Structure 1
Amino acid sequence: MKKVMLIMTLAAMTLTSCGSKKKIADLEAKNKEIQDLLNTTTVKLNTCLTEKDALANQVDFLKKNNTDLINNMGNLTTLTAKGAENLEKSLESLKEKDLKINRLQDALTKKDSVTLALVTSLKREVGIDDPDININVEKGVVMISIADNLLFKSGSYEVSDKAKGVLAKVAKVINSKPDFECMVEGHTDNVPIKNAVLLDNWDLSVKRATSIVRVLHKDLGVSPKQLIPAGRSSYIPLVDNDTPANRAKNRRTRIIIMPKIDQFYDMLEKEMKNLSDGK
């Protein structure tokens, strides 16, 4: 009987202990849930405070901006009749400048039109079927490139009789444009040359250019005031000087027909001075 009572007592104590542990576990879980909720609430509170500060700053900015706008409106309303008159004068001045700029553009367009007309005339006079003669427009001027073998013998600067026929056609166009200049450029390949007459390729290119200029002036009646000889040696090649065919391409004379530079710049300078003076 005592054994039975002892067993029952132990059982009761065990059940009571289990119940207490369950309550503690429940309380701990509840406490954790409350703690998590508190943490979340704290984060939201901090966010709200930050947003509140930002909104407060924005309100201050808007207030200041509103004040500035009100002040600016006040300044605008105090615009005087004299100020309005000055504004109107400025607009008129801008219109005049636009007209002058348009005149400059018209002058450039006219120059381009004359240049294209020159090209057409040259191609008609000289002919465009000869592969040794190339006529085109580069940077607003007429370029006539004539191959070396059409003008000179190898290493020589004496103009051939065949070349004089082509130069006569070029001279006819130059003479029809007395307000234009004609620059004659001699170009060589990079093979060094030196003999009793020629010092180097510079010397050869200059002598070839002056030979062409003499023919244009003395034989074909071009005014010397229009003629400019120039030697470029081998320093502006069309292609690499790596084959005989390429070196032949680089040996050439280029005749450039262009408006007189001083006249053109005088016109630009005058117009720009008028613009700066507000005329």
Structure 2
Amino acid sequence: MKIQLLIPVMLVVAAVTATSCVSTKKYQALQTSYNTLDSNHRELRTRFLTDERNLAVLNGRVKSLDEQIAAERSNNKTLQNALDKCLSSSSQGNVNISKLVDEINSSNRYIQQLVNAKNKSDSLNMVLTNNLTRSLSQQEMKDVDVQVLKGVVYISLADNMLYKSGSFEISDRANETLSKISKIIKDYNNYDVLIEGNTDNVPIAQKSIRNNWDLSALRASSVVLALQTNYGVDPKRLTAGGRGEYNPIADNSTEAGRAKNRRTQIIITPKLDQFMDLIGKAPEK
């Protein structure tokens, strides 16, 4: 009898021990996954903040170009008025007139240079947008929104088209659309590309993803990897960032609003150094 009783007890102990080992392994795997996600999130957050600052600087550069164009035109008008007075006054010497003419010509050249730079950026963005919208089908255009704001191209992709349900993995449905977008990105190789993930304000309910910050960053990272690995976009041009639920474009109190907020944006911007040679190099007055 003792032997018969001893066998079940040993079986129970073995079962408990085995269960404990499995739980420990799962815990360690989850801890490793968490540590990796946490490290990736911190890195993506840092890169995103850097690119967000660069984007703000770029928008400031474009505004600065407009302001310099207006200032130079005003200065040009002042110089022209001065020249007219010189020409109408016999007391003015030829040297002053010649100097004014040189200043007016220099100002005109600089104005034209600024206008050309701004027009080039606007024209490239318009061509890029037209090429992209023409390449997308009517069905794809329902899930893709393309806009040009302040010299920057925004391609907004709906999450139900781009990802598998409740996941950050790219869906099969999205591959054809990303393929078309990648061709446009590669054609305009002087532009930088920021992939920005956005969510609604409903908390994520997956153990492996801590919150909406993680989800948005992971989704942006998935698009970056797809563009690099599957479609050959130069990774040096790509940046992935997540904005979580904190950049809504609609009211989160409705399902329709939440659906609009669950999106990933591909933001295509001219490189900042294309404008640096012009800013602050106005001709001396």
TM norm. shorter chain > 0.5: yes
Deviation readout 1:260-279 (Å, 9 max, x if unpaired) = 2x22232333xx32x1556x
**2:211 corresponding residue in structure 1:** 200
> Residue 152 of structure 2 aligns with which residue?
141
Structure 1: distance between partners of 2:206 and 2:139? 36
Q: Distance in 2 between matches of 1:191 and 1:88?
A: 70
**So what's the TM-score if we normalise by structure 1?**
0.64
Preserved contact between residue 128 and residue 134 of structure 1 (Cα < 8 Å):
no
Separation of aligned partners in 1, 2:146 and 2:117: 24
Q: Which runs of 5+ in 2 are unaligned?
A: 1-88
Aligned to 1:152: 163
| Alignment partners' CA distance in 2, 1:90 and 1:127 | 57
In structure 2, distance between residues paired with 1:140 and 1:129: 27
Aligned pairs for 1:18-97 (under 5 A) are 81=93, 85-86=95-96, 88-97=98-107
Question: Judging changes above 3 Å, is the alpha-carbon distance between structure 1 residues 173 and 78 closer, same or farther for their aligned structure 2 residues?
Answer: closer
Distance 2:92 2:190 in 1: 54
TM-score (normalizing by structure 2)? 0.63
For the pair shown, the structure with the greater C-alpha radius of gyration is: 1
2:92 and 2:278 map into 1 onto residues whose CA distance is: 39
The 1-side partners of 2:99 and 2:220 are apart by: 55
Q: Is the 8 A contact 1:217 1:223 kept in 2?
A: yes
Quick one: percent identity of the two aligned structures? 41
1:225 aligns with 2:236: yes
SS of 1:241's equivalent in the other structure is coil
Of the three residues 211, 234, 246, the one matched with 2:245 is 234
Q: CA RMSD in A?
A: 2.2
Shift in CA distance, 158/107, structure 1 to aligned 2, threshold 3 Å: same
Determine the structure 1 residue equivalent to 2:128: 118
Cα drift, residue 190 of structure 1: 0.9
Count of residues in correspondence between the two structures: 196
For 1:148 and 1:115, how far apart are their aligned partners in 2?
25
Q: 1:179 — aligned with what?
A: 190
Structure 1's 219 and 91: CA in aligned 2 closer, same or farther, altered over 3 A?
same
Counterpart residue type for residue 163 of structure 1 = A
Query: How many Å apart are 1:258 and its aligned residue?
Result: 2.2
CA offsets 1:164-185 (integer angstroms, 9 cap, x no match): 2110110111111111111111
- Checking the alignment, whether the CA contact within 8 Å between 1:209 and 1:229 is kept in structure 2 is yes
Q: Distance in 2 between matches of 1:263 and 1:109?
A: 16
Q: Which amino acid is 1:164 matched to?
A: N
